[in-house]
């Protein structure tokens, strides 16, 4: 089932129309994290629902209830469920995207109005909030639907959609929706889904398309060491009392070595060493130590070996110390002995690590190390957040379809990557639906998803649309 040439031609011929539609979407400031924009998030859901309906998709807006933000109770923007195609001989692909965006104001440092899509004809960059995260990818799917409708082409798969409006604010309500929906059996909008495709991350660099098959999880700790009842003056009490900051830096210094090795016994050991086959994946990636240095703006990578550096991000746990609450953190010189300080650190975890296993190792270790200090101060350990890691099988037909689609559109094999961060909805779909999830990014590594001057390159939008369509044909070609 080769991708019809007329589809690819339609995409090229209608590029300006597609960009105009992206401009319409960007113009709706659907900022989920600011209560004053909540009506715009709803406006965006109406706009997207209308687009889907006009392209032949049956939709349902699911009320996710209310929540409290900025001290006021607000209605959550609806999830939009959609379906088109019910051919039992075809595979069924569930598409996820989010129609809300990060906040943006021109005064943050934008060169143009953030909610007016600015197309730079010279560079091909289309600048605007949401252009790449995640309106561009959602509109990529609309483009595919429009091409098929206009050309009278049959879609090669059954499609299901799940678009949410709270991704930038913790995907509130979504996991519950998925959980509820799958209990409905044949009545479920997710019934019969064979695989999931999410387009909400980015290429490793600016050159090479990639598919992402893993995400790290997170365990976030807050350890509080308390001594005196109130802050003391170091003149009056220095060398009289157990100082919580002394104990704190002692404990924090025992968590991670300067070379990144996690010193909490057992945590690194939970992860098996990479085999040759996996190492070969990292060797092939189009990414250099220089790329990392460019991204971080300084030559401070833990190694000069590309594979080591990439494995550090993609397949190893990482412990980062974020800071200390309750100590003196302002400018200048203050001679305070802080009475109670809270150190914050987190561990990015990878399969087969679980938050529970890592949490237990960390708590035991910190208690042991604190006991060694013989301090009269008190210790409290809190776990602020647990998120499981995720890794899919990149040899699954869902990935093979995406690899072939990438090769067809971009004339090169995609990089197979794992991300260092988290996209919680990935885990929700993978675990609740029990099917393979593919992360198929549209944008480039320098798109600046949460930054000023967020952009999507014209070529990524147009070739990306072709990629999404071609991927569907490749899935459709899979033998049942």
Which runs of E-coded beta strand occur in 304-423? 318-325, 336-337, 340-349, 378-387, 390-391, 415-419
> Per rule CB under 8 A, is residue 156 in the interface with a second copy?
no
Block residue for tokens 């539609």: 21
* Binding region for a second copy (CB under 8 A) out of 23-31, 105-113, 142-150, 298-306: 298-306
Residue 16, burial from CB neighbour count under 10 angstroms (0-12, 13-18, 19+): exposed
Question: At its nearest, how many Å lie between a second copy and the CB of residue 37?
Answer: 22
User: Is residue 100 flagged as an active site residue?
Assistant: yes
Only one of the segments 132-140, 159-167, 300-308, 454-462 lies at the binding site for a second copy (rule: CB under 8 A); that segment is: 300-308
- For residue 385 the two structure tokens come to 């957040």
Out of 302, 305, 371, 393, the only residue in the binding site for a second copy (CB under 8 A) is 302
Of 317 and 464, which CB lies nearer to a second copy in the complex structure?
Answer: 317
Least separation in angstroms between CB 265 and a second copy: 18
Residues sharing a CB contact under 8 Å with residue 443, sequence separation 6 or more, in sequence order: 132, 133, 136, 137, 202, 203, 449, 456, 457, 460, 464
Q: Please state, in angstroms and rounded to a whole number, the distance separating the CA atoms of residues 88 and 85.
A: 9
14 vs 224 by CB, closer to a second copy:
224
Order of strands across the sheet with 118-119? 118-119, 125-127, 455-457
Q: Which one of residues 385, 393, 395, 431 is an interface residue with a second copy (CB under 8 A)? A: 385
CA–CA distances in Å: residue 87 to residues 27, 117, 312: 37, 38, 44
* Residue of 295, 340, 64 lying closest to 175 (CA atoms): 64
Out of 35, 250, 354, 364, name the contact with a second copy by CB under 8 A. Answer: 250
Stretch that binds a second copy, among 79-87, 91-99, 321-329, 430-438 (CB under 8 A): 321-329
Least distance CB 88 / a second copy (angstroms)? 40
Q: Which two tokens stand for residue 124?
A: 């091909």
Which is nearer to a second copy, 273 or 333 (by Cβ)? 333
By beta-carbon proximity to a second copy, the closer residue of 91 and 313 is 313
Nearer to a second copy, 76 or 218 (CB): 218
Asked whether 1 and 476 are in contact (CB, 8 A), the reply is: yes
Cα 361 to the chain's mean position, in Å? 27
Q: What is the torsional sign of CA 465, 467, 468, 469?
A: positive
Cβ at position 45, least distance to a second copy in Å: 28
Question: CA-CA distance, 309 to 289, in Å (whole number)?
Answer: 7
CB of residue 363 vs a second copy: minimum separation in angstroms? 17
Shortest distance (Å) from residue 116 CB to a second copy: 26
Asked if 457 is part of the footprint of a second copy (rule: CB under 8 A), the reply reads no
x-or-dash pattern for a second copy, window 200-239, by CB under 8 A?
Answer: ----------------x-x-x-x----xxxx-xxxxxxxx
DSSP annotation of 134: I
Nearer to a second copy, 62 or 267 (CB): 267
In the set 178, 309, 366, 440, which binds a second copy (CB under 8 A)?
309
The 331-370 contact track toward a second copy, x by CB under 8 A, reads xxxxxxxx-----x-x-x----------------------
Specify the residue, 82 or 389, whose C-beta has the smaller distance to a second copy. 389
By beta-carbon proximity to a second copy, the closer residue of 87 and 305 is: 305
Q: Please give the order of strands across the beta sheet that includes 217-226.
A: 318-325, 340-349, 217-226, 378-387
Shortest Cβ 41–a second copy spacing (Å): 23
Active-site position among 40, 133, 164, 167: 167
Both tokens of 5, joined, read: 């040439």
Window 393 to 432, contacts with a second copy (CB under 8 A): 419-422
Beta carbon of residue 239, minimum distance to a second copy (angstroms, whole number):
3
Joined tokens for residue 259: 């070379």
Candidates 363, 380, 340; CA nearest to 242 is 340
Within 163-182, the residues that bind a second copy by CB under 8 A are none
Size of the site for a second copy (CB under 8 A): 81
E strands, 10-64, in order: 58-62
Closest of 249, 217, 219 to residue 361, by C-alpha:
219
Q: State how far the Cα of 457 lies from the Cα of 464, in Å rounded to an integer.
A: 10
Q: Which stretch binds a second copy (CB under 8 A): 26-34, 92-100, 178-186, 297-305?
A: 297-305
Identify the three-state secondary structure at position 431. helix
Q: Are 102 and 450 in contact (CB under 8 A)?
A: yes
Query: Would you list the DSSP string of 151-171?
Result: HTPPPSSEEEEEEES-GGGT-
Kindly tell me which residue out of 245, 358, 433, 435 binds a second copy, with binding defined by CB under 8 A. 245
Paired tokens of 255? 């968590």
| Active-site pick, 100, 168, 181, 474 | 100
321 is a contact residue toward a second copy (CB under 8 A):
yes
Binding window for a second copy (CB under 8 A); candidates: 104-112, 182-190, 273-281, 320-328: 320-328
Residues from 87 through 146 that contact a second copy (CB under 8 A): none
Please give the positions annotated as active site. 100, 167
């Amino acid at each position: 089932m080769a991708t019809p040439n007329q589809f690819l031609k339609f995409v090229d011929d209608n590029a300006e129309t597609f960009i105009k539609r992206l401009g319409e979407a960007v113009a709706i400031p659907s900022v989920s994290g600011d209560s004053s924009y909540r009506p715009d998030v709803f406006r965006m859901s109406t706009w997207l629902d209308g687009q889907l309906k006009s392209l032949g998709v049956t939709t349902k807006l699911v009320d996710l209830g209310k929540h409290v933000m900025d001290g006021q109770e607000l209605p959550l923007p609806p999830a939009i469920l959609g379906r088109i195609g019910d051919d039992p001989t075809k595979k069924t692909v569930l598409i996820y995207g989010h129609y809300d965006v990060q906040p943006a104001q021109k005064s943050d440092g934008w060169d143009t109005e953030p909610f007016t899509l600015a197309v730079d004809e010279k560079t091909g960059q289309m600048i605007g909030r949401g252009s790449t995260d995640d309106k561009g990818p959602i509109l990529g799917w609309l483009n595919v639907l429009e091409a098929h409708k206009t050309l009278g082409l049959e879609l090669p798969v059954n499609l299901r959609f799940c678009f949410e409006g709270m991704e930038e604010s913790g995907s509130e309500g979504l996991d519950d929706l998925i959980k509820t929906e799958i209990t409905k059996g044949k009545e479920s909008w997710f019934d019969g889904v064979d695989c999931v495709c999410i387009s909400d991350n980015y290429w490793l660099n600016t050159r090479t398309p990639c598919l992402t098959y893993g995400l790290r999880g997170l365990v976030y700790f807050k350890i509080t060491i308390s001594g005196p009842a109130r802050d003391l003056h170091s003149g009056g009490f220095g060398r009289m009392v157990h100082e919580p900051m002394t104990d704190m830096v002692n404990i924090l210094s025992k968590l991670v070595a300067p070379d990144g090795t996690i010193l909490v016994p057992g945590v690194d050991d939970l992860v098996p060493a990479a085999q040759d086959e996996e190492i070969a994946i990292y060797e092939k990636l189009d990414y250099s130590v220089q790329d990392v240095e460019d991204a971080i703006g300084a030559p401070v990578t833990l190694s000069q070996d590309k594979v080591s550096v990439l494995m550090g991000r993609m397949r190893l746990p990482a412990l980062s110390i974020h800071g200390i609450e309750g100590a003196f953190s302002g400018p200048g010189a203050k001679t305070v002995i802080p009475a109670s300080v809270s150190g914050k650190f987190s561990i990015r975890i990878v399969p087969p690590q679980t938050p529970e296993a890592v949490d237990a190792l960390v708590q035991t270790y910190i208690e042991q190390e604190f006991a060694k200090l013989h301090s009269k101060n008190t210790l409290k350990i809190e776990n602020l957040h647990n998120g499981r890691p995720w890794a899919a099988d990149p040899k699954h037909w869902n990935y093979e379809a995406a690899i072939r689609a990438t090769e067809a559109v971009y004339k090169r094999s995609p990089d197979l990557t794992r991300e260092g961060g988290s996209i919680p909805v990935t885990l929700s779909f993978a675990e609740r639906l029990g099917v393979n999830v593919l992360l198929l990014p549209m944008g480039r590594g320098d798109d600046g998803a949460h930054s000023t001057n967020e952009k999507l390159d014209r070529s990524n939008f147009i070739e990306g649309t072709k990629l999404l369509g071609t991927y569907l044909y490749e899935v459709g070609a899979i033998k049942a």
